[in-house]
Amino acid sequence: MAQILLLAKHLRDANSVDILPALGLLSHQIRVIPSDASQLAELPSADLILLDARSDLVNARAMCKLLSGTNQAPVLVIMTEGGLATLAGDWGFDDFVLADISPAELDARVRLSLSASTADEVISSGGIEIDESAYAARLNGRALDLTYTEFELLKYLVQHPGRVFSREQLLSDVWGYDYYGGTRTVDVHVRRLRAKLGPEYEQMIVTVRNVGYRLAIR
């Protein structure tokens, strides 16, 4: 469930369902605030921003430009079909939706926007840093030379520090359901990862007897 801000030009006679009916059928938390530049200095935190551009395209374009310079949350512009011809890349929005969008499509657009907004984040735990955008892994600043699968396995463990995973679960979540190899391949990749972490840090990947593995929180 996402925290969504809905910026609306006319608050007196509109709520989130009036502006975007599909929102009423989704479980996201919605807060409606005025679409006004004076509100940006104290804009509440949110996972995503919806900007009502159905009736005032000039204001919507100005707000998009302001938001792109001051806000980290993705911005989705709500449009009517008649207004699509005015959209341009210099607005600075992340995506647009039509006001009569279906709930399923809106939910998909929200999920994709949220995943895209976090794609470039660096994940870290216990001195290990995973940079997904650069496909790079570092241990206390030292670059790790990993294969694709080693990188994906280490990333998965770093994303869930302290949590114990069975070999079967790691096969499913890292290798995928269409992988037909045995669980021994997990042991092989863990052994290789430990070797690349080095003697001082190899025990960060802890073997949990009769279960699987976890990343120790140091």
- Give the pLDDT of the chain (218 residues) as one tens digit per residue: 788 999 987 665 556 778 899 988 888 889 888 888 877 777 788 889 999 999 899 999 999 888 876 666 899 999 999 999 998 888 989 899 999 999 999 999 998 888 766 555 678 888 899 987 778 899 998 999 999 999 999 999 998 888 999 999 898 888 875 566 678 899 999 999 999 999 999 999 999 998 999 999 76
The pLDDT of residue 178 is 58
Q: How many CB atoms lie within 10 A of CB 76?
A: 23
The pLDDT of residue 90 is 83
The pLDDT of residue 194 is 96
Task: Find the helix or strand (DSSP H, E) in which 206 lies.
Answer: strand 205-208
What lies within 8 Å, CB to CB, of 40 at 6+ separation is: 66, 67, 70, 71
Q: List strand residue ranges (DSSP E) for the chain, in order.
A: 3-8, 29-34, 48-52, 75-79, 95-98, 122-125, 128-131, 136-139, 142-144, 165-166, 205-208, 212-215
The pLDDT of residue 106 is 93
Would you give the DSSP letter of residue 12?
A: T
The pLDDT of residue 65 is 86
- Domains observed in the chain: 3-120 (3.40.50.2300), 122-215 (1.10.10.10)
The pLDDT of residue 96 is 93
Instruction: Please check whether residue 52 is in contact with residue 18, taking contact to mean a CB–CB distance below 8 angstroms.
Output: no
